[in-house]
Amino acid sequence: MSGLLTAPFLKEMVRTVSDMYARGWDERNGGNVSLLLTEDEVASYLDGVLREIPTGFEAPALEGRYLLLTGTGKYFRNVPHQPEECLGLIRLTEQGRTAQLLWGFSDGGSFTSELPAHVLSHAARLSVDPNHRVVLHCHPTNLLAMTYVHTLDEREFTRTLWRMGTECIAVFPEGLGVLPWMLCGTNEIGVATAEKMRRHRLVVWAQHGLYGAGNALDQTFGLIETAEKAAEVYLKIAHLPIVNTITDQQLRIMADAWGYRPPTGWLE
C-alpha cells in the first residue's frame, strides 16, 4: 500500500498536521487528528489487514468505517518525513471494539491514545451532520491560556470570544462546549467530549487544549484558527480598560443577517 502516499487525502492530512505544528498548536506529540474516509476513497489502496488492535471501547455507529489518524507518541514535526510510521489507516469492526490496521504505523506503533474521544466525537457529530468527517485535537496557546484566567461557563466563554471579532459569531454560532480538567486518554473524557459535540463543533478541555470537528480538514482548521485568534485578542486586552466592544444587539444583528441561531439565552 505504498501507493497510499500519493492519495489526495493523505497529502491533505500531512499538510494539515504540518500547519498545526507550525502554528505551535501541537508541540512534541501533543495532539491528534482523525479523518473519516469512505470505502470508495480507500479501496484502490487496500492490500489486506496488517494486524488487529483492540480499542478498549464500543462504537457501533462507526462499525465498518475507515479512519486515517495520527499515532500514539508520534511527533507532529516528523509526520511529513515519516508519514507511514506516524500515521495509520484503520477500519473499525466488532462494534468498534477492534481496529483493523490497513496501512501505516510501520514501526509497530498504534493509534492515538485519544481514540475514544475521536471515535465517540465522530459518532456524535454524524448524528447531527451526515457530512461530518474530521476531528482535530490540539493545544492552541491562547485558548489554553484563557482557561486559566476566564470563567469556564460555556455561555460566558463563548460570548467573550464572539466579541473579539466580527466574524466569530458567523464561524462558530453554536458556541463552544467547555469541560473542566479531566484525565486525558480515557473513555470518560471521550464520552464527555462526545456529549458536548452533539451541540458544539468546538470543545475546550480546560488546562489542556481543544477539540474541533468539521466536514473537511480545511474547514476544521479554520474553525480552530478563528477561535484561537479571538482568544489571542482577548488576552491582549483583558487587562486594559475596554472603551469599545461588540454589543449583544450587534451580535444579534449579525446572527439575523447571516441566518445563524445562537443557543437560546446566550445573547441578552
In a domain, 68, yes or no: yes
pLDDT band of 2, cuts 50, 70, 90: low
Cβ-based neighbours of 114, under 8 Å, separated by 6 or more:
32, 137, 184, 185, 190
In a domain, 135, yes or no: no
pLDDT band of 232, cuts 50, 70, 90: very high
The CA–CA distances, whole Å, from 17 to 87, 109, 132 equal 11, 18, 19
Hey, what's the cell of 201?
463543533
In a domain, 205, yes or no: yes
In a domain, 134, yes or no: no
pLDDT value, residue 57: 86
pLDDT band of 10, cuts 50, 70, 90: very high
pLDDT value, residue 231: 98
DSSP for 196-217, written as a single string: HHTT-SEEEETTTEEEEEESSH
267 plus 207 within the same structural domain: yes
In a domain, 215, yes or no: yes
In whole angstroms, what is the distance from residue 206 CA to residue 179 CA?
A: 6
What is the DSSP code (8-state) at residue 78? G
Confidence check: pLDDT of 52 > 90: yes
Domain that holds residue 230: 114-123+140-268
81 plus 147 within the same structural domain: no
Query: How much of the chain is in helix, strand and coil states, percent to nearest 5?
Result: 45, 20, 40
118 plus 55 within the same structural domain: no
118 plus 89 within the same structural domain: no
144 plus 267 within the same structural domain: yes
Q: What is the CATH number of the domain that holds 257?
A: 3.40.225.10
60 plus 16 within the same structural domain: yes
Confidence check: pLDDT of 202 > 90: yes
103 plus 224 within the same structural domain: no
pLDDT value, residue 268: 77
In a domain, 130, yes or no: no
Percent of the chain scored above 70 by pLDDT? 99
256 plus 161 within the same structural domain: yes
88 plus 148 within the same structural domain: no
Confidence check: pLDDT of 71 > 70: yes
Hey, what's the cell of 13?
492530512
Residue after which a domain boundary falls, among 59, 92, 112 = 112
8 plus 88 within the same structural domain: yes
Strand partners, 205: 179, 209
Confidence check: pLDDT of 243 > 70: yes
pLDDT value, residue 146: 98
In a domain, 131, yes or no: no
DSSP for 141-191, written as a single string: HHHHHHHHHS---HHHHHHHHHTT-TTHHHHSTT-EEEE----TTSHHHHH
160 compared with 46, residue with greater pLDDT: 160
pLDDT value, residue 185: 83
In a domain, 128, yes or no: no
Q: What number is the average pLDDT over the span 112-121?
A: 89
56 plus 118 within the same structural domain: no
Q: What number is the average pLDDT over the span 64-81?
A: 94
Residue 85 C-alpha from the chain's centroid: 21
Residue after which a domain boundary falls, among 92, 112, 132 = 112
pLDDT band of 228, cuts 50, 70, 90: very high
* Catalytic site positions: 114
Structural domain count, the chain: 2
Residue after which a domain boundary falls, among 112, 132, 148 = 112
Confidence check: pLDDT of 1 > 70: no
Please state, rounded to an integer, the average pLDDT across all residues of the chain: 94
103 plus 178 within the same structural domain: no
